[in-house]
Structure 1
């Protein structure tokens, strides 16, 4: 479970990676103008974006406030912010969809009786309409409106945080990164640096029965030598990586194809799990048999005394209960890939050096 500080740091890192504009930064909240990519990920506005893509109009992204500590946020703003929903309520309306303030009582009749005049005595000409998307494509639109900034509580388990998790998983499932030079070579120098390739995969291993234990194994394999190293992700974190190929760098050809490298990693994980103490599975199997015996004794007694009309219903319940017990107690191991990537390092300067 993530605490408030970890969520704040995670969301800020996501927004900076998406190149959003941070307008206001506070430990309890962030006010940010989303980039186009982040707006599409977090705000459900398919009609607006289809309109922008069809017409070629410049996009207008939303400005949002993400609240990480609702109590502290309410203390900072006890009366709330005008023009926006309360914390925890999110809207996805496009910018500029505010309400036009009504004129004061009696102003309409006064304006009709005496139109405004300029200093020269002639009536003023109407001001030109502002150059907005609605004004260009739909004619006259109100120019006076109240900006609305949606506010969302981003706490552990919230819908907005789950949206950010989903966006990160979708975009970060596969990466390709290069280690940056410690010192860039001069432009006139023609010497090049060879880079070698590692395939890094983060596996999630789940040991499941009526209890569950989850592990993350980060493995890397050298695509020239076949060397496999554990804790690969931790070894890459201290290094400066970039998605662009640095200057004066070339990547050496791989000797191991990606499908074969994946097969080597899977065999390595299987061998590692084979060395585990599997008494937990044996104990879970005993609990499964005991629970199935208890369920059988219960339903067999019901079936013996059941009427012919209710017997099919009891048999269906019996089969359903056995399937539930099998799913709950049956020991099994599930392995899934969280994410993976190709990482390029200078020769003799792999991830562990």
Structure 2
């Protein structure tokens, strides 16, 4: 993923989780996290357990998410240099002039009086400020410190924070329930259009030995008719989907259960896998036999020549090495459900 793709993905995640974007540029986001995003990204289980027990209003964190560090540093460096120059000039001119004017205008008596009274005024103000701070904390009125630094996270492919966002998006979008939004121009205000429920499943299939190849398969099953289609995700690409049931739409009855539909998808996947070429598995089995033969050629004479005390130890080591080689070279096919959902569609039956 390049910086632009990461930027678009992060923006979609922040909007989907209800975060408040305080600042935004092509290179960064300054964002106040929503409670859901804060739970996923900040690793504060004790704080959130306290919030859940007491029912108080949570205070979520503010993060600086930089999607293009080079561009952001260039922009921020130029702004900081300009601001620093202005502050330095203001302190030099204004500070010197103010100090000179105060020194010239103040009478000597006032200067000595001020010097004598300053410690007393500070001493009286300190307990009062401390008391106000205690009351503020007790009533939850303590103001935020404007000088608190916002934590910065550079987002690039492989970074810890981006991996957290990927994992949170996978967990949040693993199972969905969506409805097709019909064309409002074709709807009559007194008509109700039927929606047929479909079970859609994306399956990741792995062909594994000492090498690995993965494929993605998208299946859809109509819960009304039992029709199974492949490339179901491609059919969803051009549709407007919403998590709420649209107006003037009703859901048709389902004749299949979710379990039965899942069985149909499993059967379709098995038929597809049986038609695959498994020459790679035969080659992997040959390599496995060769490795086990070499291992036996090394360990079996060693075990026979060893004394009784060492024989058991060498035999255990031999078995461990055989299991390791089998795990590495034995051909196998794996299947994992990446995500799934119920899709209520008006165009498919």
Root-mean-square deviation (CA, aligned residues, Å) is 3.2
SS state at 1:239 partner: coil
Cα distance in 2 for partners of 1:338, 1:330 equals 24
Residue 75 of structure 1 and its aligned partner are, at CA, apart by 2.9
Residue 224 of structure 1 and its aligned partner are, at CA, apart by 1.5
After superposition, the Cα gap between the structure-2 partners of 1:133 and 1:339, relative to the gap in structure 1 and judged at 3 Å, is farther
Residue 345 of structure 1 and its aligned partner are, at CA, apart by 1.2
SS state at 1:210 partner: coil
SS state at 2:250 partner: strand
Cα distance in 1 for partners of 2:8, 2:228 equals 32
Aligned ranges 1:22-101 → 2 under 5 Å:
22-78=21-77
After superposition, the Cα gap between the structure-2 partners of 1:42 and 1:319, relative to the gap in structure 1 and judged at 3 Å, is same
After superposition, the Cα gap between the structure-2 partners of 1:109 and 1:176, relative to the gap in structure 1 and judged at 3 Å, is farther
Cα distance in 2 for partners of 1:130, 1:181 equals 58
CA contact (8 A) 2:202 2:217 kept: yes
Larger radius of gyration, structure 1 or 2? 2
| Greater helix share, structure number | 2
Cα distance in 1 for partners of 2:265, 2:294 equals 42
Matched, 1:289 2:289: yes
Cα distance in 2 for partners of 1:149, 1:215 equals 41
Matched, 1:225 2:225: yes
Aligned length: 313
SS state at 1:164 partner: helix
Cα distance in 1 for partners of 2:142, 2:262 equals 58
Residue 60 of structure 1 and its aligned partner are, at CA, apart by 1.9
Cα distance in 2 for partners of 1:7, 1:29 equals 11
**Cα distance per residue 1:163-220 (max 9 Å; x no partner):** 1122122221111100112116889x43211111111000010000110100010111
Q: Which residue of 2 aligns with 1:313?
A: 313
Cα distance in 2 for partners of 1:108, 1:338 equals 74
Q: Which residue of 2 aligns with 1:163?
A: 164
Residue 111 of structure 1 and its aligned partner are, at CA, apart by 4.2
Residue 24 of structure 1 and its aligned partner are, at CA, apart by 2.0
Residue 281 of structure 1 and its aligned partner are, at CA, apart by 0.8
Aligned ranges 1:5-20 → 2 under 5 Å:
5-20=4-19
After superposition, the Cα gap between the structure-2 partners of 1:136 and 1:46, relative to the gap in structure 1 and judged at 3 Å, is farther
Residue 112 of structure 1 and its aligned partner are, at CA, apart by 3.4
Q: Which residue of 2 aligns with 1:205?
A: 205
Residue 20 of structure 1 and its aligned partner are, at CA, apart by 0.9
Cα distance in 2 for partners of 1:63, 1:228 equals 46
Q: Which residue of 2 aligns with 1:247?
A: 247
**Cα distance per residue 1:34-89 (max 9 Å; x no partner):** 111111111122333333334443222111011223333333334998xxxxxxxx
CA contact (8 A) 1:130 1:143 kept: no
Matched, 1:114 2:115: no
Cα distance in 1 for partners of 2:242, 2:116 equals 66
Cα distance in 2 for partners of 1:234, 1:132 equals 60
SS state at 1:66 partner: strand
Cα distance in 1 for partners of 2:43, 2:116 equals 43
CA contact (8 A) 2:64 2:152 kept: yes
Matched, 1:147 2:140: no
Residue 255 of structure 1 and its aligned partner are, at CA, apart by 1.3
Q: Which residue of 2 aligns with 1:350?
A: 348
Give the TM-score normalised by the residue count of structure 1: 0.79
Q: Which is worse superposed, 303-312 or 273-282?
A: 303-312
Can you give the 5+ residue segments of structure 2 that lack an aligned partner in the other structure? 81-113
Residue 131 of structure 1 and its aligned partner are, at CA, apart by 12
Cα distance in 2 for partners of 1:10, 1:343 equals 23
SS state at 1:310 partner: helix
After superposition, the Cα gap between the structure-2 partners of 1:167 and 1:144, relative to the gap in structure 1 and judged at 3 Å, is closer
Residue 247 of structure 1 and its aligned partner are, at CA, apart by 1.1
